[in-house]
Chain A
Amino acid sequence: MVTPGAHSAVESMLDVKGLTVRYGAHTALQDVTLQVRPNEIFGIIGPANAGKTSFLRALNRMSDFVSGMQIEGSVHLAGRDIANVRNVYALRRRIGVVFPLPVGLPLSIYDNVALAPRLRGVKSRAELDEIVERCLRRAALWDEVKDRLRNLGSLLSGGQQQRLTIARALSQDPDLLLLDEFSIAVDPVTTMRIEEVLKELRQEMTIVLVTNLVQQARRLADRTAFFLGSRCVEIADTEDLFTGTVKDQRTRDYVEGRYG
């Protein structure tokens, strides 16, 4: 129950019940139930085709725009059932997404970060400048690009592009940040820099981190879910996963690197 006046103190930022995602006849995710607490970094690990990406795509209702994608079950974001949100665009503005391969839109660095503010109608040059600088700084990219903001974002290196997409995701001031295997095309040093960024961001937002690196989940996540074969096998405090107090043998095998 949300008591009046305590709006920000919702118990779970994300409350997912019985979530199933289908693409046509193919079931990508089945009956997942989990809660993510405010300001927590929630890790999701699991091998390919476990439904991790589908889980993220369901959270911002990509199904509205992707033909053939269907969602069952319920998702509450800060207490609101997202299926009942009329304005899907406002919903998506509260959720930042970072994709596995950096998608630097073929726009300039500046325009990449200014895109979301512009979409919601910000026109003032000074305001846009301020947002762009703030977001690039938070994504630890400002110093490297401040002299070439007019250059194409897609010409940056892979690691820089990924930080650019993080800056872009931050430009909408999201409550929830979804990261989908962000380090897949990024070198280890940049990965560590981004991880530092995430640790700072958690003070302001809730982060769901899908990762293919088990150790990354261990470094960052407060709690971690293990997905396998389109189901959520287990959710536990991250330390418990790695110190062996898991319920399911499959989780132990995966964490210890016996498969996946």
Chain B
Amino acid sequence: MSAQDSTFLKTEHEEKSLRQQKLVRMFLMFMTAMLVLPVLGILSVIVARGAPGMSLEFLTEPPRANMTAGGISFALIGTVWLTAVALLLALPLGVSAAIYLSEYARDNWLTRLINIAIVNLAGVPSIVHALFGVGAFVHFLHFGKSILAASCTLAVMTLPVVIVATRESLQAVPQPFREACWSLGATRWQTIWRVVLPNSGSGILTGVILCVSRAVGETAPIMFTGAVLYAPFSPEGVFDQSMALSTHLYNVSTQIPNVPPGLPFSVALTLIGVVLAMNATAITFRMRLRGRKKW
């Protein structure tokens, strides 16, 4: 073998590095598969057992015969109400707080403390939020057991997600953009409104997606604050009580006797469908916004 050929041969050290690289890749792939498998499993079981019970009537008709027959319309409408009101409360509050923390507040011990508090708030178990909601909204603020009280509880619970996602996306806007705008004589707010916010919209929407997914699926916080086992009407205002998909799923799975075995799966399928539909809307918006964002 000529000397020139040998320059491209693997050295012993390179062989070792390549073996190592292959092993690590296999390991990471395996772990990713482990992550995907349960999701696929859950989805396929729910679809397989829930799909036969799905129909337009199931979605649009109220429950009958002590909820062992009929549809889930009241619960579906109730969930949309709860989520929408929660979003209406959490979004302005969370986005405003994030803008203040990211763009105005000075970096001192107080803001650091607030940031730590927000992160910790995200870690509070939902049942604790539920008890807080009962105390604060149902009794102290006299909202009673209502959509408003339940949505407030959901809003408090999802606030940290909105704040953190918004703050991250604001901070992803490069600092030179701000300084360029300031040097033109713009106020902080003019800079935020014209330059920072238009370029962080996609990140804020990610926060909304996370917020919606959590609000739709939560059971404990609404069970004590506004969701009922059965309401013979769909809600007409925020002070009505309401059924909700998540609590309905809990009830038909564990509380009510003689439920046909497919019914809980159909409810679960609807719940997942609602989450996906809401996420899809937000993701479409986000893609529109991303298309505009280039630097």
Contacts and interface: CB of A to CB of B under 8 A. Distances in A.
A250 interface: no
A119 B190 contact: yes
Contacts of B180: 97, 99, 103, 105, 165, 168
B294 A105 contact: no
Contacts of B178: 65
B294 A155 contact: yes
Counting chain A residues whose Cβ lies within 8 A of the other chain, the interface size class is 20 to 34
Q: Which of A62, A90, A99, A106 has the most CB of B within 10 A?
A: A106
B185 A104 contact: no
A106 B199 contact: yes
A115 B176 contact: no
A116 B195 CA distance: 12
Nearest to A165: B180
Interface in B80-133: 106-107
Contact of B176 (A96, A99, A168): A99
A106 B293 contact: yes
Contact of B185 (A67, A90, A106, A155): A90
B176 A104 contact: no
9 contacts: A92-B185, A103-B180, A104-B295, A105-B180, A119-B185, A154-B295, A165-B180, A168-B184, A171-B184
A155 B181 CA distance: 18
A172 interface: yes
B57 to A, nearest CB: 49
Contacts of B177: 103, 105-106
A193 interface: no
Interface of B: 106-107, 176-188, 190, 194-195, 198-199, 292-295
B106 A115 contact: no
Nearest to B106: A67
A115 B184 contact: yes
Nearest to A152: B294
Nearest to B186: A119
Nearest to B194: A115
B292 to A, nearest CB: 8
Nearest to A57: B179
B198 to A, nearest CB: 7
Nearest to B178: A65
A60 interface: yes
B184 A106 contact: no
Contact of B195 (A99, A106, A155): A106
B198 A89 contact: no
A95 B183 contact: yes
Contact of A67 (B107, B184, B194): B107
Contacts of A96: 183
Contact of B182 (A62, A107, A169): A62
